[in-house]
Amino acid sequence: MGKIQKAFDEIIKDIPRSFVEKLLIEKISKSEHQIPKKKKTELAKKLSDIIFSGTLPADGIFLEDSSLGGNVNVRITKDDVEYLNNSVSSFFDDLTNVINSSSESIASSILDDFKETWAEYYLWDEKTTEVFLSNVQARWGEAFFLLKLLIEISRDIGEETSEKLRRSRAKKRIPYARLALVKLHARACQVSSEILILLENGYANGAVARWRTLYEIGVVMTLISDGGDVVGKRYLDHEAVAQKQALDEALRLDEGDSVKISKKLRRDTERYYNSVLELYGRSFGGAYGWAAEYLGSTRPTFKDLEQAAGRVDMRSTYKMASYSVHAGVRGITSSHSHIDYFTDEIIAGASNAGMAEPGENTAFNLTLATGLLFRTKMKMDEIVKLRVLVMLRDEIVHEFRRAQRQLKKDHARSQRQSD
């Protein structure tokens, strides 16, 4: 791609000189000497060199040439300078239109070439990726296998709990807390699957970013589980606030009214929003307003939720996970995908490193989320299931740490061999 720009730069850098030489040829033609056309061009180039050297005499340019029997005298006037400026300016104005029209055809041609060569390169890339993924599985495969098993067991428990909930709702009052927990748990399973896919394909930073969501789900589930149906209902009713915030944002950004939002939708959203505020108070309208009364705070933050859920020990890990989510500088000065977390090296693709932390944390948080589906007074089969989850979680942690230790050993050995 750089070759096109280089060739273009070479062409346009001589444009001003071309206009000057054209003007000089016209002036040389008006001199008292009879000069052949080829000679005029030669003299114009010599005179142009003098002009662009920055040593233009005030009384004109004199160029001696023995073949002409005297000097060639050329004077550049203010009118000439204005003419040159206008000519060059007009040329570049026209050039802009030429570039706009020609760049599209050039881009189209280059894209066709890319597509043609990519077909061959794509096969090579697929084979290279296949080898890489085999290496990832060779190092982390056992941990991935066990994490996948944990996800499937958790999903089965979630489906079983959901079915029990469906049957119980037809007989008595709505168990708001369990309803919210079941839905949040389903999302936790989905996010865990996303994390596993990212890990299996070598994207540790992406896995950390998704784990951050899984962690938030776990914190919210803990509060709902502790707060019972009162908090569960508030959490579900907070949909009214979410709808109102989304509508307000859409209306604020849509200055051109390109998105048609019906009056009925606006009216229904306002009515729904006002009804929950009337029921729960103004503090309910905040980002975590559903937890306001339970936490005894008019404007609770996620940090307050963590505190109440007993998860402050994970605050630092949660904060560091934000580096993989947002565009702050720490996102380019640190990377889970590098063997050394803090690094100046930029990794633009997949890596065999950094799987341990997101893998371990996913196992812990999914086990927590699934355990919250069990009632306080558990039956024997629930106790056994929870024990299975904990044992499996511990095995997963062990396998991820074992693979991480071996990776560091192999990296250190490779470094010694290269030195």
Section 258-276 average pLDDT: 86
Q: Which among 78-82, 322-326, 373-377, 392-396 has the top mean pLDDT?
A: 392-396
**pTM of the model as a whole:** 0.77
Query: H helices within 254-376, ranges in order?
Result: 263-280, 292-295, 302-309, 315-321, 330-333, 356-371
Residue 44 in this model has a pLDDT that exceeds 80:
no
Kindly indicate the confidence band of residue 291, based on its pLDDT and cuts at 50, 70 and 90. very high
Residue 10 in this model has a pLDDT that exceeds 70:
no
Kindly indicate the confidence band of residue 4, based on its pLDDT and cuts at 50, 70 and 90. low
Confidence (pLDDT) at 256: 45
Confidence (pLDDT) at 386: 94
Cα angle at 146 between 141 and 148, to 5 degrees? 90
Q: Which residue has the higher pLDDT, 340 or 243?
A: 243
Confidence (pLDDT) at 144: 98
Confidence (pLDDT) at 98: 65
Section 290-305 average pLDDT: 96
Kindly indicate the confidence band of residue 367, based on its pLDDT and cuts at 50, 70 and 90. very high
Adjacent-strand bridge partners of 72? 63
The span from the CA of 8 to the CA of 12, in Å, is 6
CA atoms within 13 Å, Cβ hemisphere of 371: 19
Tokens representing 96 are 């802009």
Contacts 24+ apart (CB under 8 A), 263-271: 269/240, 269/243, 269/244, 270/244
Phi and psi torsions of 71, nearest 5°: -90, 150
Give, in order, the Cα–Cα distances in Å from 106 to each of 99, 101, 117, 122: 10, 9, 17, 23
Q: Residue 289 contacts by C-beta under 8 Å, 6 or more apart in sequence? A: 238, 241, 280, 283, 300
End-to-end CA distance of the chain: 36
Q: By the 8 A CB rule, do 206 and 198 touch? A: yes
pLDDT tens for 181-221 read: 999 999 999 999 999 999 999 999 999 999 999 999 999 99
Q: By the 8 A CB rule, do 76 and 51 touch? A: yes
Tokens representing 95 are 């050039």
Average pLDDT over the chain reads 85
pLDDT over 70 for what percent of the chain? 82
Q: Which residue has the higher pLDDT, 330 or 23?
A: 330
